[in-house]
Amino acid sequence: MIFASIIFYLFSIVAVVGALNVILQRNPVHSVLWLILTFFNSAGLFVLLGAEFIAMVLVVVYVGAVAVLFLFVVMMLDINTTIMREGFLKYLPIASIILLVFLIELITVFIGAYSGEDIFVLTREPIPDPLIVTNTESIGNILYTDYIYLFQSAGVVLLVAMIGAIVLTHRRRPGMKRQNISKQIDRSPKDTLEIIKVDTGKGIT
Amino acid sequence: MLELWHGYVWPFLWIVIKIFLLLLPLLLAVAYLTYAERRIIGAMQLRKGPNVVGWFGLLQPIADALKLLTKEIVIPSGASPVVFLLAPMVTFSLAMVAWAVIPVDAGLVISDINVGILYLFAISSLGVYGVVMAGWASNSRYAFLGAMRSAAQMVSYEVSIGFIMITVLMTAGTLNLSELVLAQSEPLFGFLPGWYLIPHFPMFIVFFISVLAETNRHPFDLPEAESELVAGFMTEYSSMPFALFFLGEYANMIMMSAVVTILFLGGWLPPYDISPFNYLPGFVWFSIKIAFCLFLFIWVRATFPRYRYDQLMRLGWKIFLPFSLFWLILTAFIIVYK
């Protein structure tokens, strides 16, 4: 199908250009915006693979939540890009090692894919046939049966992280006026108002 | 040649035609929603509203559009021009893109995908970008503060919207919007309409209020609280970019009304499938329900004063979030143990 491959190349080219721009842009806010574009196009690629649930979750979680926070932080902090670029040579050796490792991994995968060896046995046949079971259902079936303990413990880890973040950053500031809604609703005119009959010509002392 | 036409060109053209058939009435509805809002609020405040241009002022939206089109686009100095102009486009197009999965009638939908409800949630969670980009790119304090407020507001209310959507999709047992509507066709207790409005009535209220906050409408229009922030994130916008923001807000209202209609008001289904009701075709019912929701939007605007910011956050996080979470668990219990 020509149409699908045109769309595939469209998504992947935009994703790659976006990813390049994330690291090439001088302005960090522009970088984040390019990152969002990259996320979007990856979601598009997932849809082409037939993994619509993962595509939507990618948009909801990464674009809708994570990138918003990213954008917040980047906008609030006045990041000076020249200072950030100073350590470039210092980090170059370790970065090139990581780069090399990723490159070798990619090359092995591609060689495996084109030499006809069966390293894609697992990916070739998605176990519940996507035509019978929607992929939301099949992910749910696996996640809540075979991987329930791992799934739950991931949840617990996230909860602990959240509580930790709140404990570390939350502090009661003295002298801050806070509205106590229930107290305010409970007030009646009796408690706060006093009606005084003022005699004419005398006033109140 | 013929193969190319039947295989590729015609299906593509057909999709484009369907998109136009949906978008043209939608854009007209957006334009006339602004008119309707001014007339209805006028009536509620014992004024007349726009009544000079055309019969009953019916040409007012067109006159407004022409006025905005002919004005100059001002880009503030120190602004980031591309992001500045991209922001209104993002806002407007997101409100349009969501309609791709909304079933207007049985089978009348551009793309009947399996994860329709998630798609809607994903698109509505992106709305915040238009606002944040506008606020940042304007290089103005008012705009930036407005954008920050609105981003926090939209993110907060999205959480309860998400929980309510999960509640509804659990009840229906599907993520597909057409199936979700059809799941509401079974009458409740044999005589009430099977719409989720009835079993999930508290969630309908919470959802509607969250939608008000999500679309930055009154009484939660803090991003553009005139008395504090001039016009919030829209302060620096003029001419067509402003018009796009303005229309985007109204298009979002219509889109969210459609979501409310599908989730709670039974989509295109008539209240009872008997003779006087089912004479009207499904999309007419759908439009009537959307119009009802839009009227609620306007009614709320004319009735309530604006919330203070901390009150807004309290309502979202301390009341709606626990309540919708409780309702979600309750629904799960009832589904499992009934």
Tell me whether residues B311 and A63 touch, CB distance under 8 A.
no
Write down the pLDDT at residue A120.
Answer: 52
Which structure tokens are listed for B272? Answer: 């009872």
The angle at the Cα of B80, spanning B75 to B86, to the nearest 5 degrees, equals: 80
AA identity, residue B299: W
A75 and A138 housed in the same domain: no
Does A5 or B210 have the greater pLDDT score? B210
Is residue A84 domain-resident? Answer: no
Give the residue-averaged pLDDT of B153-175. Answer: 88
| Residue A122 confidence (pLDDT) | 47
Interface contact flag, B132 A75, Cβ < 8 Å: yes
Q: At what angle do helices B282-303 and B10-44 cross, to 10 degrees?
A: 40
Q: Which two tokens stand for residue B95?
A: 């409100």
Contacts of A159 in chain B (CB under 8 A): none
Phi-psi map region of A25: left, alpha, beta (phi>0 left; psi -120 to 50 alpha): beta
Q: What string of DSSP letters covers A89-119?
A: HHHHHHHHHHHHHHHHHHHHHHHHHHTT--S
Confirm or reject contact between B136 and chain A (CB < 8 A).
yes
B121 lies within 8 A of chain A by CB: yes
Q: Do A68 and B132 count as a contact with CB atoms less than 8 A apart?
A: yes
CA A196 vs. chain centroid, Å, equals 61
Residue A183 lies in a domain: no
Q: Kindly determine whether residue B155 and residue A68, on different chains, have CB atoms separated by under 8 Å.
A: yes
The tokens for B305 are: 């004063």
Task: Give the HSE-up count for residue B185: Cα atoms under 13 Å, Cβ half-sphere.
Answer: 13
Could B311 and A52 be called an inter-chain contact, meaning their C-beta atoms sit closer than 8 Å?
no
CA distances from B23 to A179, B39, B118, B212 (A): 46, 24, 22, 23
Helix, strand, or coil here: B64? helix
B212-226 pLDDT, tens digit each: 888 888 788 776 666
CATH number assigned to the domain comprising residue A47: 1.20.120.1200
| Residue B205, pLDDT score | 92
Whether residue A65 lies inside any domain: the answer is yes
Q: What is the pLDDT of residue B326?
A: 93
User: Inter-chain contact B175–A136, Cβ cutoff 8 Å?
Assistant: yes
Average pLDDT over residues B3-7: 74
Calpha distance B285→B106 (Å, rounded): 12
Residue B32 predicted with pLDDT over 70:
yes
A15: contact with B, CB 8 A cutoff? no
Instruction: Extract the tokens encoding B254.
Output: 């219509």
Question: Which residue among B113, B122, B128 sits closest to A68, beta carbon to beta carbon?
Answer: B128
Mean pLDDT of all residues belonging to chain A: 82
Percent of chain A surpassing pLDDT 90: 22
Look at residue A123 and tell me if it is in a domain.
no
The span from the CA of A43 to the CA of A105, in Å, is 23
| C-beta atoms of B80 and A72 within 8 A | no
Q: How many CA atoms lie within 13 A of A128 on its CB side?
A: 13
3 state DSSP class of B285: helix
pTM of structure: 0.84
Q: What is the DSSP string of B204-246?
A: HHHHHHHHHHHTT-TTS-GGG-HHHHTTGGGTT--HHHHHHHH
In a shared domain, residues A73 and A137? no
Contact B125/A at CB under 8 A: yes
Indicate yes or no: CB of A59 within 8 angstroms of CB of B126: yes
CB B206 within 8 A of CB B290: no
CB contacts < 8 A, A to B, total 65
Of A64, A68, A71, the CB nearest to B122: A64
Burial class, A111, CB count within 10 angstroms (exposed 0-12 / middle 13-18 / buried 19+): exposed
Model confidence pLDDT, tens digit, residues A145-182: 888 999 999 999 999 999 999 999 888 888 877 778 88
In a domain, A146, yes or no: yes
Q: Quickly state the pLDDT bin for A124 (edges 50, 70, 90).
A: low
Per-residue model confidence as pLDDT tens digits over A39-78: 989 998 888 887 888 888 888 888 888 888 888 888 877 7
Asked whether residue A1 falls in the same domain as residue A71, the answer is yes
pLDDT at A21 over 60: yes
The amino acid occupying position B146 is: G
DSSP string, B171-188: HHT-S-HHHHHHTT-SPB
Q: Is the pLDDT of residue A115 over 70?
A: no
Assess if residue A72 is contained within a domain: yes
Partners of B128 on chain A (C-beta within 8 Å) are 64, 68
Which DSSP string do the residues of B135-156 spell out, in sequence order?
Answer: HHHTT-HHHHHHHHHHHHHHHH
Q: Which residues are CB-contacts of A36 (< 8 A; sequence separation ≥ 6)?
A: A63, A67, B129
Which of A2, A36, A52 has its CB closest to that of B113?
Answer: A52
**pLDDT tens for residues B252-278?**
899 999 999 999 988 888 877 777 777
**What is the mean predicted confidence (pLDDT) over B12-33?**
88
* Average pLDDT for chain B: 85
Task: Read off the pLDDT of each residue in B25-29 and give the average, rounded to a whole number.
Answer: 89
Give B65-81 pLDDT, tens digit per residue.
Answer: 888 888 888 888 877 88
For residue A111, being part of any structural domain is answered with: no
Tell me the nearest-neighbour CA distance from B66 into chain A, angstroms: 32
Which of A79, A96, A113 is the endpoint of a domain? A79
Integer Cα distance of B315 and B331 in angstroms: 22
Give the mean model confidence (pLDDT) for residues B29-33: 89
Question: Most A CBs within 10 Å: which of B117, B128, B169, as the mutation test of the A interface?
Answer: B128
- Residue B136's pLDDT is 85
Question: Interface pTM (ipTM) of the complex?
Answer: 0.82
**Residue B247 vs residues A127, B26, B104, B226, B255: alpha-carbon distances, Å:** 46, 11, 21, 19, 12
| B185 neighbors B266 (Cβ within 8 angstroms) | yes
- Asked if the C-beta of B111 comes within 8 angstroms of chain A's C-beta atoms, the answer is no
Q: Summarize pLDDT for B284-334 with one digit per residue, the tens.
A: 888 999 999 999 999 998 888 888 888 888 888 889 999 999 999 999 999
Q: Of A18, A44, A79, which residue constitutes the final position of a domain?
A: A79
The total number of structural domains in chain A stands at 2
Q: Which residues of B83-119 are buried (b: 16+ CB within 10 A; e: fewer)?
A: bbbbbbebbbebbbebbbbbbbbeebbbeebbbbbbb
Q: Is the pLDDT of residue A127 over 60?
A: no
B contact residues 1-20, partner A, Cβ 8 Å cutoff? 8, 12
Is-contact B301 B220, C-beta < 8 A? no
The better pLDDT of the pair B18, A135 is held by: B18
Alpha-carbon span B338 to B328, nearest angstrom: 15
What whole-number distance in Å separates Cα of residue A196 and Cα of residue A203?
A: 10
CB contact under 8 A, A57 and B118: yes
In a domain, A204, yes or no: no
Q: If you average pLDDT over each of A101-115, A117-131, B18-32, B179-193, which comes out highest?
A: B18-32
Residues in B touching A57 (Cβ below 8 Å): 118
* Residue B158 with chain A: CB contacts under 8 Å: 64
Which range among A115-124, A181-190, B132-141, B180-189 shows the weakest confidence by mean pLDDT? A115-124
Asked if residues B150 and B222 have their Cβ atoms less than 8 Å apart, the reply is: yes
| Contact residues, chain A, for B114 at CB < 8 Å | 52, 134-136
**Token couple for A60:** 């909801």
Q: What is the pLDDT of residue A125?
A: 54
- B93 interfacial to chain A (CB closer than 8 Å): no
pLDDT for A198 beyond 70: yes
Contact B115 A75 (CB under 8 A): no
**Residues B4-20, mean pLDDT to the nearest whole number:** 82
| Tens-place pLDDT, residues B97-149 | 888 888 888 877 888 888 888 888 888 888 888 888 888 888 888 888 888 88
Cα B193 from chain centroid (whole Å): 24
Quote the DSSP letter at residue A199: P
Can you say how many angstroms the Cα of residue B330 is from the centroid of all Cα atoms in its chain? 28
Range of the domain at A145: 132-170
Q: How far does A56 lie from chain B, in Å, by closest CA?
A: 6
- Residue of chain B whose alpha carbon sits nearest to that of A55: B119
Determine contact, residues B132/B146, Cβ cutoff 8 Å: no
Of A79, A111, A141, the residue at which a domain comes to its end is A79
Distance from CA of B128 to the nearest CA of A (A): 8
